[in-house]
Amino acid sequence: MGNAVTLRALVAGAVLVWLAGCGDPLSGVGRLSELDLADETPVAVMADPSRAEEPVARPGLLGRMLGGGGSAKAPPSVPAGTLLSFGLVKPVCDLPRDKRGAEIAAFPERRAAYRLYDSAPGKTAPHPFYVTGFDDGCARTFTAAVAMFGAPEMHEMLRYGLPAEVHPYSATDSAYEQIKSRVCRVARGAPCGDRVGKLEKDTVFVSAYEQFGDNARWLEMLLHGGTLVETDVKSGG
pLDDT of residue 165: 66
| Rounded Cα distance, 221 and 213, in Å | 20
Is residue 235 within 8 A of residue 65, CB to CB? The reply is no
Per-residue pLDDT of the chain in tens (237 residues, 90 and over written 9): 443 333 333 333 333 333 333 344 344 434 333 333 333 333 333 333 333 333 333 343 433 333 333 334 576 899 999 999 999 999 999 899 999 999 999 999 989 999 999 999 999 999 999 999 999 999 999 999 999 999 999 999 888 887 766 778 899 999 999 999 999 999 988 999 999 999 999 999 999 999 988 778 899 999 999 999 999 998 875
Could you give phi then psi for residue 142, rounded to 5 degrees?
A: -150, 165
pLDDT of residue 73: 53
pLDDT of residue 213: 82
pLDDT of residue 173: 94
pLDDT of residue 135: 96
| Rounded Cα distance, 199 and 177, in Å | 12
User: Hey, which residues does 227 pair with through a beta bridge?
Assistant: 224
pLDDT of residue 159: 86
pLDDT of residue 110: 87
pLDDT of residue 216: 80
